[in-house]
Amino acid sequence: EPEVTQTPSHQVTQMGQEVILRCVPISNHLYFYWYRQILGQKVEFLVSFYNNEISEKSEIFDDQFSVERPDGSNFTLKIRSTKLEDSAMYFCASRRLAGFGTDTQYFGPGTRLTVL
Amino acid sequence: DAKTTQPPSMDCAEGRAANLPCNHSTISGNEYVYWYRQIHSQGPQYIIHGLKNNETNEMASLIITEDRKSSTLILPHATLRDTAVYYCIVRANRDDKIIFGKGTRLHILP
């Protein structure tokens, strides 16, 4: 069964450093998402992406964040200057543009980001 | 904000049916009920969704009341691997983002 994959599984970085989190969505999917989950808290939406542009973003997704689909398979989340409060699990998700029956988001296993 | 209300936690004996309730009294006609679960620190996993009819798949059954103001997710024969946080989510077909609440933490007891 096709899956969303994410790398790395765990990223440790120093405050102020740039990080790039990578995702490979399911191959025939066209909508892509990033969510995050701070330890012990709810899963929060960050951004959605379709047709090479951002469809929607949350208040969390400020100028320090950016997303890109650099090629036909990868979808990345960049944090330009990490802060301690960016420490969280980051989940990528994707869905296929199709009829409702397949209009479901599938999530990757997540990247744990630790900012020291 | 999440449009659903779920109990914070539940216990269920292994091998028994786990029945997870969800209230969504403000659901509108074009909104579906979705269930996801999150096993410890993993990505949310899609379980099932429905509009007004009861639904069943290989993982679970979804029972939606006739007035659509509440629903129940049924795991017919719970195993230890079903221990997870279960999220009941209401969203329209074309809603893009998923808004997660706190969900129900289900403990399967051996």
Mean pLDDT of B42-62: 94
Q: Per residue in A75-90, pLDDT tens?
A: 999 999 999 999 999 9
pLDDT-derived band of residue B2, with 50, 70 and 90 as boundaries? low
Distance CA A34, CA A88 (A): 12
A42-A2-B60 Cα angle (round to 5): 60
pLDDT-derived band of residue A1, with 50, 70 and 90 as boundaries? confident
CA of residue A93 relative to chain centroid, distance:
7
Please say if the pLDDT value at position A102 is more than 60.
no
Nearest by CB to residue B42, choosing from A58, A93, A109, is A109
Q: How many CA atoms lie within 13 A of A48 on its CB side?
A: 17
pLDDT computed for residue B4 by the predictor: 94
Residue B40 DSSP SS3: coil
- CB contacts, 8 Å: A56 with chain B: 96-97
Read off the tokens for B70. Answer: 């509440």
Q: Are A90 and A107 in contact (CB under 8 A)?
A: no
Please say if the pLDDT value at position B93 is more than 70.
no
Q: Are B55 and B62 in contact (CB under 8 A)?
A: yes
Mean pLDDT of B77-96: 89
Length in residues, chain B: 110
Interface test mutation site (partner B, options A1, A34, A43, max chain B beta carbons within 10 A):
A43
Q: What is the phi/psi pair of residue B90, to 5°?
A: -110, 125
pLDDT computed for residue A98 by the predictor: 55
Question: What's the maximum distance between 2 C-alpha atoms anywhere in chain B?
Answer: 40
DSSP type of residue B14: T
